[in-house]
Amino acid sequence: MDFIQYQKFLDNQWKQLEQRIREDEDFKKAGKAKIQISEEFFFTLDISGLPGLLIITNNIKKIDKDFIPNCKSWNIEVFDNQLVMSLKKKEYSDFFKEIINLILTKINLKKVIKEESINFFFSKLSSAKNFFDSDAPPKPLSSEKETGLFGELITLNEFINKKYSEEDSLNYWTGPSQKHDFTTPNILLETKTTKHSSKKIIHTSSNDQISPIFEKPLYLSFVLIEISPTGKTLKMLVDEIIKKFKKKSDFLVNDFYIKLRQSGYFETHKDIYKDKYVFNDCNFYYVSKTFPHIKNFKEPEPIFDLSITYKIDLEKCEDFRINEEELINNL
Specify whether 80 is located in the same domain as 127.
Answer: yes
Total count of domains within the chain: 2
218 found inside a domain: yes
171 found inside a domain: yes
Q: In this predicted structure, what is the pLDDT of residue 210?
A: 80
What is the CB-side half-sphere exposure of residue 196 using CA atoms within 13 A? 6
Helix (H, G, I), strand (E, B) or coil at 235: helix
For range 50-62, the mean pLDDT: 87
Q: In this predicted structure, what is the pLDDT of residue 107?
A: 92
131-179: per-residue pLDDT in tens? 888 878 888 999 999 999 999 999 999 999 999 999 999 999 998 778 8
Specify whether 53 is located in the same domain as 168.
Answer: no
Task: Provide the terminal-to-terminal Cα distance of the chain, rounded to the nearest Å.
Answer: 36
Specify whether 127 is located in the same domain as 165.
Answer: no
Q: In this predicted structure, what is the pLDDT of residue 138?
A: 85
pTM: 0.82
Q: In this predicted structure, what is the pLDDT of residue 205?
A: 72
167 found inside a domain: yes
Q: In this predicted structure, what is the pLDDT of residue 70?
A: 86
151 found inside a domain: yes
Specify whether 170 is located in the same domain as 57.
Answer: no
Specify whether 128 is located in the same domain as 161.
Answer: no
Q: In this predicted structure, what is the pLDDT of residue 20?
A: 87
> Sign of torsion, CA 94 239 184 295?
negative
Specify whether 86 is located in the same domain as 10.
Answer: yes
Specify whether 129 is located in the same domain as 151.
Answer: no
Which element (helix H / strand E) includes 237?
Answer: helix 234-248
Last residue of a domain, one of 133, 155, 172: 133
Specify whether 95 is located in the same domain as 187.
Answer: no
Longest dimension (CA), the chain: 74
Last residue of a domain, one of 82, 114, 133: 133
Helix (H, G, I), strand (E, B) or coil at 207: coil
Specify whether 118 is located in the same domain as 155.
Answer: no
Q: What is the rounded CA–CA span in Å between residue 321 and residue 327?
A: 10
Q: What is the rounded CA–CA span in Å between residue 124 and residue 129?
A: 9
Last residue of a domain, one of 133, 166, 199: 133
Pairing label, strands 32-36, 41-46: antiparallel
Q: Which domain holds residue 64?
A: 3-133
Q: In this predicted structure, what is the pLDDT of residue 28?
A: 72
Specify whether 118 is located in the same domain as 173.
Answer: no
Quick check: bond before 302 cis, omega within 30? yes
Taking 70 as the threshold, does the pLDDT of residue 299 lie above it?
no
Residue 191 and residue 182 in contact, taking contact as beta carbons nearer than 8 Å: yes
313-326: per-residue pLDDT in tens? 999 999 999 999 99
Calculate the CA dihedral of residues 98, 100, 101, 105 and round it to 10 degrees.
140
37 found inside a domain: yes
245 found inside a domain: yes
8-38: per-residue pLDDT in tens? 999 999 999 998 888 888 777 777 889 999 9
Residue 126 and residue 259 in contact, taking contact as beta carbons nearer than 8 Å: no
138 found inside a domain: no
Specify whether 181 is located in the same domain as 238.
Answer: yes
Specify whether 118 is located in the same domain as 213.
Answer: no
64-111: per-residue pLDDT in tens? 777 788 888 899 988 888 999 999 988 999 999 999 999 999 999 988
Phi, psi of 49 (to 5 degrees): 95, 10
222 found inside a domain: yes
